[in-house]
Structure 1
Amino acid sequence: MGRGTGMRRRGDQMAKWRIPGLAARPRFTSRATVLVLVLCSLVAILVYPARQYIAQRGEIADQRAKAEHARQQVDELRRARARWQDPEYVKAQARERLHYALPGETPFVSVAPPPAPGDKQSAADATGHPKAARPWYSSFWDSVDAADTALAAPPAVP
């Protein structure tokens, strides 16, 4: 017996269980198709509100973080205000910032001596940064003019 005959017998056995006059049912019925369409439409309808909900939750978290930062700033400003209410703190700040001295004290302010005219650091201040004798754009245009005249001048012959 070959394979084909065994399959045919099995098919024959299944055939006797079928009800005569009924055709084989399709895989998807109309009810299943309508159910799938309804589910797909529900998903499509709910996507936009879900996305909006997630975006709004992010915005709420950002606003809460900003509110917490503002609350911290307010606390810091309250502490600063409380410090300024203390007369000793006010005196210390006046001495430090305004160079005030109490009666009977001799205040000293150290000033760097002016640089000598022949000194190499005459163009630098006490911090070591070079001083600009004129605005930067003036120096820039002078360098452009110097480069232009150097190109226009004929080369010197030895």
Structure 2
Amino acid sequence: MGALTTTRTRLLIVLCFAVAGYGLYTAATGWYRNSQLENDRTAAEQRVRALEEEKAYLEAVRAYVASDAYVEQQARRQLGYARDGETVFVVSSPPVEQGREQSGSWWQRLFPR
């Protein structure tokens, strides 16, 4: 009977270690998944904030473009209009370098911050 009890005890110990190992594995993978989800959530929140800032900027640009001040500015710049009593000056700039790439979206170049 002694050998049978020792074998059962060893089997029980091995079984307990297996259950404990599985529990530790499950806890570790759960912690890792939660950590990854938290990182993804933080990155998504930062992206949302950046997009909200860009949206606010674009809405401000849209409001400015719809204003009378912008229409007058463009009439003066592109068409050379002037009010009575004003003198128009034309300033020429140096030529643009060939092959030079411009960065940013067209509205960011048109309306720098």
Name the TM-score class by shorter chain: 0.5 to 0.7
Q: What does residue 56 of structure 2 align with?
A: 75
Q: CA RMSD in A?
A: 3.2
**After superposition, where does 1:17-56 map in structure 2 within 5 Å?**
30=10, 34-56=15-37
How many angstroms does 1:91 deviate by? 0.8
* Structure 1: gaps (5+ residues): 1-28, 113-125, 133-158
1:102 lines up with 2:48 in the alignment:
no
Letter in 1 for 2:23: L
> d(CA) in 2 for partners of 1:85 and 1:102?
20
> d(CA) in 1 for partners of 2:38 and 2:60?
33
Name the SS for the 1:49 alignment partner. helix
Name the SS for the 1:63 alignment partner. helix
| Deviation per residue, 1:60-105 (Å, 9 max, x gap) | 111111111111111111111222232123212432x415222544
> d(CA) in 1 for partners of 2:90 and 2:51?
40
> d(CA) in 2 for partners of 1:75 and 1:42?
49
Report how many residues are paired: 89
TM-score between both structures, scaled by the size of structure 1? 0.43
- Greater relative CO (CA pairs within 8 A, separation 6+): 2
How many angstroms does 1:34 deviate by? 4.1
> d(CA) in 2 for partners of 1:59 and 1:36?
34
Higher Cα Rg: structure 1 or 2? 1
> d(CA) in 2 for partners of 1:40 and 1:52?
18
Runs (4+) of structure 1 exceeding 6 A deviation are: none
Cα distance, 1:111–1:76 mapped onto 2, change above 3 Å = closer
Question: Percent identical across equivalent pairs?
Answer: 17
> Of Structure 1 and Structure 2, which has the larger fraction of its residues in helix?
2
* Structure 2: gaps (5+ residues): 1-8, 99-113
TM-score between both structures, scaled by the size of structure 2? 0.57
Cα distance, 1:90–1:33 mapped onto 2, change above 3 Å = same
Name the SS for the 1:72 alignment partner. helix
